[in-house]
Amino acid sequence: MSDRDYYEILGISKSASEGDIKRAFKKAAIKYHPDKYNNAGEKEKKEAEEKFKEINEAYSVLSEPDKRAQYDRVGHDAFKQGAGSGGFGGGYGGFGGFEDLGDIFGSIFGNTGGFGRGGNYVQPGADLTYQLNITLEEAAFGAEKTIKYRRNAKCKACNGTGGDPKGSLRECTQCKGVGKIKKLQRTIFGNIEQIAECDACHGKGKIPEIKCSTCSGVGITTETLELKRKIPAGISTGQKLRIEDMGEASESGGPYGDLYIIINVLKHKFFTRQGDDVYCQVPITFATATLGGEIEVPTLEGHKNVKVPAGTQAGKKFKIRDAGIKSLRGSGTGAQVIEVTVEVPTDLSESQKKLLMEFDDSLNEKNYKKGGFFDRVKGFFS
């Protein structure tokens, strides 16, 4: 086998728990099990087989505390002394090949899910998606939300077998209890043999003598679920939260699919978000922009006072640190960026107009920002 890092092969970190290792193996084994590549080309089959062997080898070490500790200390060298000294020679850590993987898959998927004895593949249930709308405040600080949805679930009356509890299950005569059947397809190149799920027992290998009256022998019913889920602070639109085994039930007795909650942060009437920072525009009066002062600014957590210096121009930006969005990775909090706009007074009385004209006549070049708009216009005409 290759010397690829076992943690890398399973896509986990070195601090992964026993449950993390098992879940990673389950996911990878389903993806690369050889039975899924019966109708693929030779190159694809060989690549899947090699990856499946790598996954098997990695799991056989990392799933056993003693072997994992030895691997963490020494690496692959700990298992290069041959099969007689606990290595992987010949049987890859005790597994003789695909035919003997029933026990290990059974321990992970249970008796009804994943892979049956002899490596028979059982299709897992479909994944479900749920779009959850949250406010910008909830995205900033986190929240607990309740979602409600419908899914196909194993019939509780018959535990998904499709049979009446009073009756018994018999071996499917069509597939001989294997759950799969061989089909011959005639093509211009000759007959091609395909492996397919048995349509008589839906891959279960057994058929009920008396059909369950609740699910009419299908083994599946619909149910409505309510789940509470914590939304982490800092989450953004488009990000997903995965809840394992809360998707659809498998008709062939495999594991449940997963539920993916897709986040949609609603548009805010005042703030816009860029990364972990929030932006807003705040109007100030002509007098405040000219003379300076203190203005009250709304934030995600309430109101704060911000000092505006004299001579503030329209478009000037001020920053309030730690008033934005908490980082999803836990590395601080963004800022709030305030852009001021100067409100121009309207509907002036005659006396107000006169005062404004007198004020304007009293101004000269020294009263305007050097290099500002008026300087540029003057330079253009000259």
* H or E, element range at 60: helix 42-62
DSSP string, 228-267: EEEEPTT--TT-EEEETT-SPPPTTS-----EEEEEEEPP
| pLDDT score at 114 | 43
Q: Is the dihedral of CA 163, 169, 173, 177 positive or negative?
A: positive
Q: Measured between alpha carbons, how far is 61 from 240 in angstroms, rounded to an integer?
A: 31
| pLDDT score at 371 | 56
Four-point Cα dihedral 65, 66, 68, 71, nearest 10? 170
Q: Measured between alpha carbons, how far is 95 from 60 in angstroms, rounded to an integer?
A: 9
| pLDDT score at 85 | 38
* CATH 1.10.287.110 location in the chain: 1-121
| pLDDT score at 222 | 93
* CATH 2.60.260.20 location in the chain: 125-168+209-267, 272-381
β pairing state of 206-208 and 169-171 = antiparallel
| pLDDT score at 23 | 86
**Is residue 118 within 8 Å of 177, Cβ to Cβ?**
no
| pLDDT score at 133 | 97
Tell me whether residue 234 is exposed, middle or buried, using C-beta atoms within 10 angstroms of its C-beta: 0 to 12, 13 to 18, 19 or more.
buried
List the CATH code of the domain at 125-168+209-267.
Answer: 2.60.260.20
Q: Which residues lie closer than 8 Å to 269 by C-beta, 6 or more apart?
A: none
List the CATH code of the domain at 1-121.
Answer: 1.10.287.110
What is the chain's pLDDT, residue by residue, as a tens digit (382 residues)? 457 889 999 999 988 888 889 888 888 888 887 767 766 778 888 888 888 888 888 888 898 888 888 888 888 777 665 433 344 333 333 333 333 344 444 444 443 344 443 344 567 889 999 999 999 999 999 999 999 999 999 999 988 888 888 878 888 888 888 888 877 766 655 667 777 778 888 777 888 888 888 988 888 999 999 999 999 999 999 999 999 999 999 877 778 999 999 999 999 999 999 999 999 999 999 899 999 999 999 999 999 999 999 999 999 999 999 999 999 887 789 999 999 999 988 899 999 999 989 988 888 877 776 655 555 555 555 5
CATH top-level class of 272-381: mainly beta
